[in-house]
Amino acid sequence: MPELPEVETTMRLVRPLVVGRTIQRVECTWPRTVEGDVKAFARAVQGQRITQAWRRAKWIVLDLEGPARAARHMLVHLRMTGRLVVEPTRQAAPAWWKVGLHLDDGHTLWFLDVRKFGRVLARSASIPEFADLGPEPLSSTFDGAWLHTSLQARRRAMKPLLLDQTFLAGLGNIYVDESLHAVGLHPLTNSARVSLQQAQELALVIKRVLAEAIEREGSSFDSFYRTPEGNPGSYQAQFQVYGRDGQACRRCGTTIKKLVVGQRGTHVCPRCQPLRQKRN
Ligand SMILES: [Zn+2]
């Protein structure tokens, strides 16, 4: 499932191809992708110019300007298997396409989605999807002091807490497992037991892991993820624990175990990440 680095990579590669372009015509093969009302979606985005592209959490946002006053943003969530590609309109439509935005320069921005959980939405100036999101991990708002205070306040197991988008935006299964291993915290550690020093270390590690993953255009271990240019990303070669159950920990040689935490497959080195019952 695409997480922050994959969504950021997709946004960065699509941005120069769509910003400044006007959406001339919309096609859709799966109404649920656009919240069920294809005509309303088409009315909201047709004739609009794309003025900017950015990312918030796991959402890609295209800012819109033009006659349809109701639509100021188009939001794209890739969910499990969503992808964006930009191709010449005269070419055959790509497999699995759900939404096609035909642009005024002879290209089409396609949203492809095998599993059909992805969403493409039109929004006015306010974006309700963003109302409850936690801070961006790569922003200056997110640091060790903020993280420590927030962990103390929650008293939840670390893994589900870090996956909770209202706590911190953009992380998913892969980058949480990798970050917790890097700082030696067990996924079931109660957040209130994490020391200030551990929180400071974890904040730095999360920033480093995400930045490195963006540098490598994300990772595609167990998903359909491909960049808009068709590349799988290469961060999967850097994985320390994710998907490595049964293999030796690269740091200590202990066999990596797979647990289920909050219904999510979770990868852990029992030696690097001991579960301590008392305050460290
Ligand atoms: Zn280890």
Domain check: are 85 and 166 in the same one?
Answer: no
Separation CA 146–CA 49 (nearest Å): 38
The pLDDT mean for the chain works out to 95
- CA of 255 relative to ligand 1 center, distance in Å: 8
Handedness of CA 173, 175, 178, 180 (dihedral sign): negative
d(CA 134, CA 235): 25
Last residue of some domain: 130, 165, 189?
A: 130
The answer on 14 and 74 residing in a single domain is yes
| Residue among 21, 58, 98, 123 flagged as catalytic | 58
In the chain, the amino acid numbered 10 is T
Residue with tokens 């993280």: 147
216 is catalytic: no
User: Is 58 a catalytic site residue?
Assistant: yes
Across residues 131-149, what is the average pLDDT?
A: 98
278 found inside a domain: no
Which 3 state secondary structure label does DSSP give 279? Answer: coil
2 is catalytic: yes
CATH number where 70 lies: 3.20.190.10
What's the CA-to-centroid distance between 182 and ligand 1, angstroms? 9
| Whether residue 231 is found in the same domain as residue 113 | no
> Is 139 a member of any domain?
no
Per-residue pLDDT at 201: 98
Could you read off the pLDDT of 249-280 as tens digits, one per residue? 999 999 999 999 989 999 999 999 999 765 44
> CA-to-CA distance for 46 and 21, rounded, in angstroms?
11
How far apart are the CA of 217 and the centre of ligand 1, in A? 26
Percent of residues, the chain, with pLDDT higher than 90: 94
Q: Which amino acid is at 171?
A: L
CB atoms within 10 A of CB 132: 9
CA of 269 to the centre of ligand 1 (A): 5
The reply to whether 26 and 48 lie within a common domain is yes
Q: Which of 130, 161, 188 is the last residue of a domain?
A: 130
Q: Which of 2, 5, 137, 160 is catalytic?
A: 2
Neighbouring residues of 197: CB distance < 8 A, sequence distance ≥ 6: none
- Is 279 part of a structural domain of the chain? no
Based on the structure, what is the number of domains in the chain? Answer: 2
* Residue 280 pLDDT: 45
Residue 161 is part of which domain span?
144-268
In tens, the pLDDT along 195-233 reads 999 999 999 999 999 999 999 999 987 667 999 999 999
Q: Which of 72, 101, 130 marks a domain boundary?
A: 130
Indicate whether 135 belongs to any domain.
no
User: CA 130, 216, 146, 193 torsion: positive or negative?
Assistant: positive
- At residue 278, the pLDDT reads 56
The per-residue pLDDT for 242 is: 96
Q: Tokens 């291993």 sit at which residue? A: 181
**In this prediction, what percent of the chain has a pLDDT beyond 70?**
98
Q: Which of 3, 6, 129, 217 is catalytic?
A: 3
Q: Is 3 a catalytic residue?
A: yes
For ligand 1, the distance from its centroid to the CA atom of residue 254, given in whole angstroms, is 5
For residue 207, what is the DSSP state? H
Please check whether residue 30 lies inside any domain of the structure: yes
Alpha-carbon 140 to chain mean position: 19
Q: What is the C-alpha to C-alpha distance for residues 167 and 216, in angstroms, rounded to an integer?
A: 26
137 belongs to a structural domain: no
What are the backbone angles phi and psi of residue 140, rounded to the nearest 5°?
Answer: -75, -20
The one catalytic residue among 12, 156, 258, 264:
264
* Pair (58, 173) in one structural domain: no
- How many A from CA of 253 to the centre of ligand 1? 6
Q: Are 42 and 78 members of one domain?
A: yes
Compute, in angstroms, the gap from residue 162 CA to the centroid of ligand 1: 21
Q: DSSP letter at 248?
A: B
pLDDT tens column, 31-82 = 999 999 999 999 999 999 999 999 999 999 999 999 987 799 999 999 999 9
CATH number at residue 153: 1.10.8.50
Distance 240 CA to ligand 1 centre (A): 9
CA 208 to ligand 1 centroid distance, Å? 19
On whether both 192 and 255 belong to a single domain, the answer is: yes
Query: Does residue 114 share a domain with residue 10?
Result: yes
